[in-house]
Amino acid sequence: MDVRLAKKTRLVSIKELRTYPELARMRVLQIGNRLSITPVDPREWEFILGIL
């Protein structure tokens, strides 16, 4: 498999993500969740791409 960088983006911190009401229901931002692999809703992902 050939893997290449498509686009480099800036780091978006959890602290910054918490400032957006549009992401209030994002699982990784909920109290008690650990920073691990969690599902991201397609609408949440599109919003994050929009703030980059």
Cα–Cα distance between 22 and 47 in angstroms, integer? 8
DSSP secondary structure code for residue 14 in this structure? H
Enumerate the domain spans of the chain: 14-51
pLDDT, one tens digit per residue, over 6-42 is 888 889 998 999 999 999 999 888 888 776 778 889 9
Q: What does the block give as tokens for 22?
A: 């549009």
pTM over 0.95: no
